[in-house]
Amino acid sequence: MPEYVITGKQFNEGDPVTINLGYNTSFKEEFQGFVTQCDLGMPLEVTCEGYSWLLRRNNINRFWGSVSVEELLVAAVEGINPDYTITVQCDVEMQLTNIRINDESGFDVISNLAKYTDNCLTCFFIQPNVLWCGFVYTPFAKGNYVLPDQVISYKLGYNCIKDNNLKVRLTENDPVEVKYFKKLANGTKISATSDVYNNAASNHTKIINHAGEQTSLQDMANEKAYRLNYSGYEGDLTAFLQPYASPGNEAYITDSRYPERNGNYLIESTEVNFGINGARRILEIGPLSGFANQK
């Protein structure tokens, strides 16, 4: 007797998933994660999420009078399914104060870092189970690379299918100065002003309640100034499946139209689509390495 199987019922929420893609039996791992839902229509659609799915199910209730960014990240990943582990790689030594987590997920805790630091800290998975956190624009502005150094070359108009979402950002003639303030528990006020650009045309001023010390304010002020004064490409481009690229890699982009923008860019995220028409890789582009040295 033939056995009838309903394909959609072969998948359950939380099932681990590994996807390998390639050509001519030469495959490379593209994704590790978990099933989140199944659409039982025709064709069957299975939705998956990476290791952030584990973080969304890790409930946290804690208060810290003072905590380092690394300690906060470790708390966010503690308590996940013991069959899986997330490694934290934190490249900043920064203290935060008065952090209260009321019935929030580990994913929320990590997302809140942007709120605590005025979007100065960047946090993303550089490998399926390796969570990286640190400053991005400060080292890239100076031409320093803080992540595993693998460079993938892209020539716009050749091995890229679409670059219409890749825009050139020009801010050289409108420098922004950043000023951060904080009031300590004893009533003392501390402040920091970015010192990486001169002759500012405008200011970005904000009270940072959770910064732990003067050095944190100064580091964040400079990181924010680099972000606001960034010149180079931003956005995303669509390429073929190969060459392979992952978040944290560098994309060496060349463009005959804007040769002054040629250089190494951080790949902040990737999205891969595949089907009967082939496979495409969408790259979200971060800052240009050494952009501050070009001024």
Say whether domain 138-170+231-294 belongs to CATH 2.60.120.
Answer: no
Q: How far apart are CA 124 and CA 80, in angstroms?
A: 17
Q: How far apart are CA 122 and CA 277, in angstroms?
A: 35
Q: How many CB atoms lie within 10 A of CB 33?
A: 19
Say whether domain 58-134 belongs to CATH 3.55.50.
Answer: yes
95's tokens? 């203290």
pTM (global) more than 0.95: no
Domain ranges of the chain: 7-50, 58-134, 138-170+231-294, 176-228
Residues forming beta bridges with residue 271, ordered by sequence position: 282
Using CA atoms, how far residue 94 sits from 33, 188, 227, 274, 279, in Å, is 30, 20, 19, 41, 41
pLDDT in tens, the chain (295 residues): 777 777 777 888 899 999 999 888 888 999 999 999 887 777 778 888 999 999 999 999 999 999 999 999 999 999 898 899 999 999 999 999 999 999 999 999 999 999 999 999 999 999 999 999 999 999 999 888 877 668 999 988 777 887 778 888 876 667 899 999 998 878 888 999 999 887 878 899 999 999 888 889 999 999 999 999 998 888 999 998 988 898 989 999 988 887 877 899 999 999 888 877 888 999 999 999 998 876 5
